[in-house]
Amino acid sequence: MSNDTIKMPKRFDYSSGAEFNAAISAAAQQHQVITLDCTYMDYLDSAGIGLLVMANKKVQEKNAKLVMVNLNTAPREILQLANLQKIIEIK
C-alpha cells in the first residue's frame, strides 16, 4: 500500500484551503493512504472541518483513505465533537 504524508499547518482554517486541496488532489492520484501529520496543528475551526470532510470524499473517490496522526489535544477534541473519527481514521 503506497503512502504519502501531508504536514498540516499550525492553523487549519479557510486560509489553508487552496494549498491543502492541491496537496490532497496530488496525493490521491498516486497513493492509497494519505497521512495527515498534525504535529504542529493547534487550531482547527469549522472551515477546517469542512475541508477535511471534502478531502475525505475526494480521497474515497480514488479508493484511498485519510489517516490523521499526532493530533494535539484541542484539535482532537474538536474532531471528536464533530464525530469525524467515524469517517477519518485518527491515530
pLDDT tens for each residue of 10-37: 999 999 999 999 999 999 999 999 999 9
pLDDT of residue 24: 96
User: Are the C-beta atoms of 41 and 74 separated by less than 8 Å?
Assistant: no
Q: How many Å apart are CA 19 and CA 1, to the nearest integer?
A: 25
Whether residue 54 is predicted with pLDDT greater than 60 in this model: the reply is: yes
**Of 5, 21, 10, 17, the residue nearest 91 (C-alpha):** 5
Whether residue 2 is predicted with pLDDT greater than 80 in this model: the reply is: no
pLDDT of residue 51: 97
User: Are the C-beta atoms of 45 and 13 separated by less than 8 Å?
Assistant: yes
